[in-house]
Amino acid sequence: MITTVRGVRDILPEDVPSWRFLEESARAVFSSYGYQELRTPLFERTELFARAVGATSDIVEKEMYTFADRGGDSLSLRPEGTASVVRALIENNRQRVLPWAVYYMGPMFRYERPQKGRYRQFHQMGCELFGAEGPLADAEMMAMVLRLLRRIGVEASLTLEINSLGCAGCRGPYRARLFAFLQTHEAALCDHCRPRLPHNPLRTLDCKGEGCRAVAGKAPCMKDHLCGACADHFQGLTALLTAMELPFVVNPLLVRGLDYYNRTAFEVTTTALGTQNAVAAGGRYDGLVAEMGGQPVPAIGFAMGMERLVLLLEAAQVAMARPAFYLVAVGEAAGRRGLLLAEQWRNGGVPVTMDLLGGSLKVQMKRADRAGARFALILGEREMVQQTILLKNMTDGEQSSLAWNEVGWERLAALIA
């Protein structure tokens, strides 16, 4: 038997309602803030990710699905969305009509060690906003993320963490100080952090290794080394979050694993999913557009891990789309009549799941129950003779018999409004 590749999964029909609920909620929230959908290709030139995400980042060094196509070009499956969005902005000249506010959702690919909440093909939905420089944009984006998480009913276990990573001016001197500090504790660092110390000392701050965590706890903090403008930006952001009554914590160890960030970095973490605890993450990347060959344009964005949100939805047992009406028709004549009635109801927009497998009343009602139907519409032998249909509320068991000409779609629609 040929199976799926490690770290890659089917999304089975019973799970799809959670996914759609998530996607539809996100579209509604993102567009209510003025974001438009952008669809970028699943693969790009490898160089795009190397330059945008950073040649020495874990993603580019170890996690990309890179291959040569038949023409000999090096291509990679996208490991994240931001690089492609920046490319699309520049390539399509959108810098001339700022702001440009876009959202995207879809699969991303990283060769990581699979575990709960971490896969090799996973899905992100994210937003990128170009053109806005001040902390208003940062605060609004965080409010939008939290609004979406509230709307889907999973906010209970979540914390918004923020930090500032400074700018090109203040990060250099801080990096040098941090490097000097970490060098004096080199022996305590993990095998992963020690070799990358010279080129990526910041990553030790968010390493999960015990030794690294102990050292990081005593390390100098970026937020104590910010220049005046970066400190003002961060202070502006915290004041806005406080004014909006959005709870947050400042986490000086939040550094992010992609090289393009400056100033604001944020994550929404959960206590409900074990070690893969980030459900949303993002930050500012004011220098990236220019670095990728465009005009300098300030930018901020985030992405959310959809698998992780689906796990949270399941944990929170948020009621997913269940069939509103389940039509049970016993016998051939009832089947034919049922099909016609169901089509009439659907003409009026009423969702009806018809049992097409047939069998006894008992067997079909069992299937209605298993599907989680809110109402069953039953056409049995007696109903066929009387030209009626039995409407059963599956929650409280209450039943009523209605004549065929009384059950127009309006009547059914009113039941589920």
Q: Is residue 148 classed exposed, middle or buried when 0-12, 13-18 and 19+ CB atoms within 10 A define those classes?
A: buried
> Closest CB to ligand HAM among 54 and 282?
282
In angstroms, give the least distance from the CB of 304 to ligand HAM.
Answer: 6
Half-sphere exposure of 270 toward its Cβ, with a 13 Å CA cutoff? Answer: 25
Phi then psi for 129, rounded to 5 degrees?
-125, 120
Report in angstroms how near the CB of residue 212 gets to ligand HAM at its nearest: 19
| 286 to 128, 219, 226, 253: CA distances (angstroms) | 12, 26, 16, 21
| d(C-alpha 366, C-alpha 361), whole Å | 9
> Residue 177 or 206: which CB sits closer to ligand HAM?
206
Rounded CA gap, 203 and 216, in Å? Answer: 10
**Can you read off the two tokens belonging to residue 50?**
């190397």
Q: Which is nearer to ligand HAM, 255 or 329 (CB)?
A: 255
Q: Which is nearer to ligand HAM, 207 or 279 (CB)?
A: 279
- State the Cα torsion 354-356-360-362 to the nearest 10°: -50
C-beta of 279 vs 313, nearer to ligand HAM: 279
Comparing CA positions, the residue from 218, 235, 223, 412 lying closest to residue 325 is 412
CB of 83 to ligand HAM, least distance (A): 8
Q: Least distance from C-beta 73 to ligand HAM, angstroms?
A: 23
Q: Which is nearer to ligand HAM, 123 or 337 (CB)?
A: 123
Question: Residue length, the chain?
Answer: 417
Half-sphere exposure of 318 (CA within 13 A, CB side): 22
Q: Judging by beta carbons within 10 Å of its beta carbon (0-12, 13-18, 19+), is residue 263 exposed, middle or buried?
A: buried
Q: How far is the CB of 120 from ligand HAM (least distance, A)?
A: 7
CB of 326 to ligand HAM, least distance (A): 34
Of residues 302 and 345, the one with the C-beta less far from ligand HAM: 302
Least distance in angstroms from the C-beta of 290 to ligand HAM: 16
End-to-end CA distance of the chain: 47
- For ligand HAM, give the closer residue by CB, 274 or 351: 274
Q: Give me the residues paired with residue 266 across strands.
A: 162, 282
**In the complex, residue closest to ligand HAM by CB:** 305
Is the CB of 201 or the CB of 282 nearer to ligand HAM? 282
Nearer to ligand HAM, 283 or 338 (CB): 283
CB 38 within 8 A of CB 102: yes
Residue 261 Cβ vs ligand HAM, minimum distance, rounded to whole Å: 7
In whole angstroms, how close is the CB of 64 to ligand HAM at the nearest point?
12
Considering the complex, what minimum distance in angstroms separates the CB of residue 127 from ligand HAM?
8
**Footprint of ligand HAM (CB under 6 A):** 80-82, 110, 112, 117-119, 122, 124, 126, 128, 258, 278-283, 301-305, 307-308
Could you tell me which of 343, 363, 339 has the C-alpha nearest to residue 351?
Answer: 343
Please state, in angstroms and rounded to a whole number, the distance separating the CA atoms of residues 11 and 127.
Answer: 24
List alpha helices for 33-81, DSSP H: 46-53, 58
Bridge partners of 158?
A: 270
